Structure 1
Amino acid sequence: MAELVYPPVVLAAKTAFRLLDLKLDVRGTEHIPAAGGAVIACNHVSYLDFLFCGLGAQPAKRLVRFMAKREIFANRVAGPLMRGMHHISVDRAAGAESYRAALEALKGGEVVGVFPEATISRSFTVKEIKSGAARMAAEAGVPLIPMALWGTQRMWTKGRDRELTKRHVPITVLAGAPMHPTTDDDMDAVTEDLRGRMSALLDTIQRDYPDEPAGPDDRWWLPAHLGGTAPTPEAAAELDRRKPE
């Protein structure tokens, strides 16, 4: 397919990252296949995650087709860009069509990006995840690659003001070894395994993160189990029930 939009967007994003002097640490890129279909399953802590998750596929010269809620496609600015980059619109009330579109892309050799938590995690831990990523990988016969990122929440996340011009923020992206689910597997077990792998990757990059909060009021971007003031997973789940995205 013609790529008239995606390459300029990638170039613009990389230019912005340089101007902001973001401290990018992208690891595990050897796990992204240079050809053929694959599903990337990434944690979700920020509205900017798709930009940085896609960086994990750049060394393999792959463009990731992200599954994103249809409301983004309806936006007069973001919509044309999303369609031009051949991302996949998701209607949460009727997901069969988007699932078929993702499956078709995978069978056509594309890399599809999924945030299986479905919404941003307010606790900055990995929430319960949906089984769609595992099912798609199994049905398409492609690898399922767990990924975690950290630091993006400091620029724009749920319940906080945007700080898109924030400089010198460390951003870490870590891809893990691929899984190879099949249609004979128990998808609930595969999904739980995927969540465990995503959580382990996230734990690694959270604990290795090279920056600390500037003071007590800046501890909001750390999860509670690391001494931050983000909601616990239980409190975050209650917030999601009362204030759904």
Structure 2
Amino acid sequence: MTRRRIGFWYRLAAAIAKPPLIVLFKRDWRGMENIPAEGGFLTAVNHNSYLDPLLYAHFQYNTGRLPRFLAKASLFTPFFVGRIMRGTGQIPVVRASTDAAAAYRAAVEAVNKGECVAFYPEGTLTRDPELWPMVGKTGIARVALLTGAPVIPIAQWGANEFLPPYAKRPSVLPRKTHRVLVGPPVDLSRWQGQEPTVEVLRAVTEAIMVDVTRLLSEMRGEPAPAELYDPRRQKKGAA
């Protein structure tokens, strides 16, 4: 199996979400040819607005390769939203618990069945003051090494102009553009077959985030910082 059937719940979610997104946003989606036509794969996407998962899902839906997101378990609690999350095959993650490992096992199983699993490696909205990607968490590296599946880096921009991080009100006018740039698979060949030690997982994650950042730099037309923003380092500095 290489492609998921769209199914009732994905069609329902698209019918609800797509019309307002089409009205509110113009689209500049590039690099779609880098999305694999067949087989399992991972996508690594930057996160700079509470709205960008919907916009990214719109993009990914239109590629014909339906994404399965690793999403906060709390999103599965509300009755209707939770039913859509389960019906579309999204994967709940309970942070700081043994259930997090179960989520990664589910991701591995999905990729091995030929599906697309979408990761937000930062794990939360970027804290970088200029909205560049942060240091990523190593879950995506673990799944990539276990499956040997390609990791497709994806940069997006525009949702943050409509709804900046932690903003309470959107900026509707002028109409914003959701921009996506998809790169070729991250070159992880040097780590294939290695034991997934902490050092290896961090190195793989850094390689993935460097590619995502490079794509965002190209999209924004400005140089990215020399180092990825690390919120843990910032906390230590503040202390």
Amino-acid identity (%): 34
Deviation, structure 1 residue 166? 5.2
Code of the aligned partner of 1:136: V
Aligned residues: 221
Are the counterparts in 2 of residues 151 and 169 from structure 1 also a CA contact under 8 Å? yes
Take 2:204 and 2:31, find their aligned partners in 1: how far apart are those partners? 21
Indicate if the aligned counterparts of 1:65 and 1:87 stay in contact, CA closer than 8 A.
Answer: yes
- Alignment partner of 1:168 is 2:159: no
Which of residues 93, 103, 106 in structure 2 aligns to 1:101?
A: 106
SS in 1 for 2:136: coil
Contact kept, 8 Å, 1:47 with 1:156, in 2: the verdict is: yes
Q: Secondary structure at the match of 2:74?
A: helix
Look up the match of 1:60: 63
Residue of structure 1 in register with 2:204 after alignment: 190
Q: 2:42 aligns with which of 39, 42, 45?
A: 39
Contact 1:35/1:109 (<8 A) preserved: yes
After the TM superposition, which residues 79-90 of structure 1 pair with which residues of structure 2 at under 5 Å, given as runs? 79-90=82-93
The residue that corresponds to 1:152 in the other structure is: 159
Indicate yes or no: 2:72 matched with 1:69: yes
Superposition deviation, residue 235 in structure 1? 8.4
Which blocks of at least 5 consecutive residues in structure 2 are unaligned? Answer: none
TM-score in terms of structure 2 length: 0.81
- Measured in 2, the distance between the counterparts of 1:174 and 1:37 equals 20
- Give the letter for the 2:45 counterpart: C
Length-normalised TM-score, structure 1? 0.79
- Per-residue deviation, 1:157: 4.0
Extract unaligned runs of 5+ from structure 1: 209-223, 226-231
Give runs of aligned pairs for residues 1-245 of structure 1, distance below 5 A: 3-20=7-24, 22-94=25-97, 95-123=100-128, 124-163=131-170, 168-179=175-186, 181=188, 182-184=192-194, 186-207=200-221, 233=229
Query: Structure 1's 167 and 65: CA in aligned 2 closer, same or farther, altered over 3 A?
Result: farther
